[in-house]
Chains A and B, each alone.
Chain A
Amino acid sequence: MTDPESPVLSLRGISKSFGAVAALADVDLDVGEGEVVAIVGDNGAGKSTLVKVLAGVHPPDAGAIRFEGREVRLESPTQVHALGIATVFQDLALCENLDVKANLFLGRELRPFLLDDVAMEKRSWELLRQLSAKIPTLSVPIASLSGGQRQTVAIARSLLGDPKVVILDEPTAALGVAQTAEVLNLVERLRDKGLGVVMISHNMEDVRAVADRVAVLRLGRNNGVFDARTVSTEDIIAAITGAADNVVAQRASRTASKEAR
Chain B
Amino acid sequence: MNAPTPTLDLQDERLVAPQTLGDSVRAAVRRVRDGDLGMLPVFGGIVVIWTVFQLLNRTFLSSTNLVNLSFDIVPVGFLALGIVCVLLVGQIDLSVGSVSGVAAAVTALVMVTYEQPVWLAILAAVASGCLIGFVYAQGFNRFAVPSFVMTLAGLLAFLGVQLWLLRGQNAINLPYDSDLVQFAQLWFMPAWMSYLFATVAAAGFFATSLVGARTRKRAGLSAPATGLLVFRAALVLAALGFTVYYLNRTRGVAWMFVLFVVVVLVMHYVLSRTKFGRSIYAVGGNPEAARRAGINVKSVYAWTFVMCSTLAAIGGVLAAARLAAATQSTGTGDVNLNAIAAAVIGGTSLFGGRGSAFSALLGIVVIQSISSGLTLLNLDSSYRFMITGAVLVLAVALDSFARRSRQAHGRG
Contacts and interface: CB of A to CB of B under 8 A. Distances in A.
A218 to B, nearest CB: 29
Given A106-B278, A138-B9, A144-B411, A119 B284 contact: no
Contact of A109 (B278, B352, B406, B411): B278
Contacts of B409: 144
A90 to B, nearest CB: 12
Interface in A97-135: 97-98, 102, 106-109, 112-115, 118-119, 121-122, 125, 134-135
A51 to B, nearest CB: 13
Contacts of B285: 95-98
A93 B289 contact: yes
B250 interface: no
Interface in A134-180: 134-138, 140-145
A23 interface: no
Nearest to B34: A144
Contacts of A140: 410-411
Contacts of A121: 9, 219, 221
A135 B10 CA distance: 11
A89 interface: yes
B9, B212, B220, B221 — which one has the most chain A CB atoms within 10 A of its CB? B9
B281 A112 contact: no
Contacts of B215: 118
Nearest to B291: A93
Contacts of B275: 109, 112-113, 115
Contacts of B295: 106-107
Contact of A96 (B276, B279, B412): B412
A144 B12 CA distance: 16
B216 interface: yes
B274 A114 contact: yes
Contacts of B284: 97
Nearest to A105: B278
B21 interface: no
Contacts of B278: 98, 102, 106, 109, 115
B273 interface: yes
25 contacts: A81-B294, A91-B288, A92-B289, A95-B281, A95-B285, A95-B353, A96-B286, A97-B281, A97-B286, A97-B353, A98-B285, A98-B353, A102-B282, A106-B278, A106-B282, A108-B293, A113-B274, A118-B219, A119-B219, A134-B12, A135-B12, A136-B14, A140-B410, A140-B411, A142-B412
The 9 A-B residue pairs with the shortest CB-CB distance in the complex, in nearest-first order: A143-B412, A141-B412, A144-B410, A107-B293, A97-B285, A95-B285, A97-B353, A112-B275, A136-B12
Interface of A: 77-78, 81, 89, 91-98, 102, 106-109, 112-115, 118-119, 121-122, 125, 134-138, 140-145
Given A107-B290, A108-B293, A137-B12, 8 more contacts: A93-B293, A95-B281, A96-B286, A114-B273, A115-B278, A119-B219, A125-B8, A135-B12
